[in-house]
Amino acid sequence: MDAKRKVQALADMAAYVAQAIQKEKGHIKIVSHFDADGICAGAIIYKTLEYLCKDFEITFIKQLGIDEIIELSHEHNSMLIFADIGSGQLSQIKEHIQIPVVVVDHHPPDTSCTWDNLYHLNPYHAGIDGTNEISGAGVAYILARSLSTQSKKQIDLAIVGAAGDRQCPNGKFLGVNQLLLEDAEYAGVIRCEKGLKLFGRYTRPLHKAIEYCNNPFIENVSGNESGAVQFLSELGITVIDKKGNWRRLCDLTADEEKKLSTVLVVENVACGGRADELIGTIYKLKNDYDVMEFSSVLNACGRQENPLFGLKMCLGACGGVEDILLEYRKKIAKGVSCARNMKKSFVVTDKATYIIASSRIDENIIGTVISILLKRDIKTDICVGFGCVKGGKWVKVSVRSKSKAKGVNLGEVVRKVAADIGCGAFGGGHSGAAGAKIPKGSDMRFVKLFDAFL
């Protein structure tokens, strides 16, 4: 079946779910995931319920475990809408929640579980691969479209959500995402152009964009404002225009951009990156952000425990972003230097490097920290980081591989290891990035089992 027919099949299912929402007169609570995709999915539904003049509220959660479900069961809502979350927790939801439940998710569903008050919209039921072809925000958009024609304006968020969930390998969207992108371009809410992929292309002074860039990481330039200015002036690129304004990347001439691209590509290859990853399609949004850039801003909001700020940005607010990003950068830099300082205690096997920072690096940033270390500090293809979780009962495990590492599905391995550890441990993910939560003290067991599975 081609992508268009699959979308039609999903839209037909959405119409049924939409009816239940339309009929609902009481208080609706939207519960969405706290990452970029979840924030976009939440924002799409939020805006749609606003169009429909519903009585509603929204909340974002890190995970939907049994504790969260029981807490929700004690609240006084008339309907719950789970977005970008819930398809894997149907049996627990069924057990504890009596009111009507809508689940709008793209994770593999527990198909055997269903009940009268469940309205479940999931791409797998329409033969769509929810890992690569559509995000939680994409599914939310399909639902929103059948609730209100005004919601068609939110299509850009469906693409941002997909980018946030890494559904654009090498900068390209596939299947349903590609169809949605074409619609978004046609509607004029996303504009595609080719060029240097540097965050802040339209939103930041160029020297700031260079200073904040970690990809490539250039010694004495990355994280160094005057170094960045000097770097540009050595290339013959002025940082201020004739009127005295800061120049942005989008203000450069084609020649200047080419010169800058060449140097950055060389630097990127020198630190282990691919030659072609810095040049490609830029997907410009109405708010001047690039799609990838905006999704990483939303991700930072979630990880800074401020998803509501991300929601506001999706709904059109624009102030205060630099502050939140600055805080986030500081946190990451602190995490990276903390990990580097404990290099001697890394456990290194011939397959992977294990960084056991379960009492020092926060669970929200451990994944990003090991991704950075994997570029320059680590020899093995796979890196595993252990981060601390508030409350002290759990440890967060993040696993990342270099783009070259092939043949291992990290998500599968992590899921099996977590199952072997037991005691409530759980995990999963994708082939190149995965995560788990394990009981405190089982770090070394994870190391042993994981290494054996590899």
Interacting residues toward Mn ion by CB under 5 A: 37, 84, 136, 165
Distance separating alpha carbons of residues 346 and 76, to the nearest angstrom? 49
Distance separating alpha carbons of residues 311 and 296, to the nearest angstrom? 13
Distance separating alpha carbons of residues 151 and 224, to the nearest angstrom? 43
All residues at 6 or more sequence positions from 263 whose CB lies less than 8 Å from its CB, including other chains: 235
Q: How far is the CB of 238 from Mn ion (least distance, A)?
A: 42
Name the residue nearer to Mn ion (CB basis): 24 or 110: 110
Q: How far is the CB of 135 from Mn ion (least distance, A)?
A: 5
Name the residue nearer to Mn ion (CB basis): 37 or 256: 37
Name the residue nearer to Mn ion (CB basis): 83 or 355: 83
Q: How far is the CB of 389 from Mn ion (least distance, A)?
A: 21
Helix axes 36-51, 291-303, angle to 10 degrees: 100
Q: Which residue is nearest to Mn ion (CB)?
A: 37
Q: Find, among 305, 445, 337, the residue nearest to 384 by Cα.
A: 445
Q: How far is the CB of 184 from Mn ion (least distance, A)?
A: 18
All residues at 6 or more sequence positions from 224 whose CB lies less than 8 Å from its CB, including other chains: 211
Distance separating alpha carbons of residues 228 and 308, to the nearest angstrom? 33
Name the residue nearer to Mn ion (CB basis): 77 or 132: 132
Q: How far is the CB of 162 from Mn ion (least distance, A)?
A: 9
Name the residue nearer to Mn ion (CB basis): 158 or 373: 158
Q: Find, among 123, 134, 128, 158, the residue nearest to 45 by Cα.
A: 158
Q: How far is the CB of 82 from Mn ion (least distance, A)?
A: 12
Name the residue nearer to Mn ion (CB basis): 52 or 158: 158
Distance separating alpha carbons of residues 84 and 94, to the nearest angstrom? 18
Residue count of the chain, please give it.
454
Q: Find, among 36, 280, 284, 299, the residue nearest to 172 by Cα.
A: 280
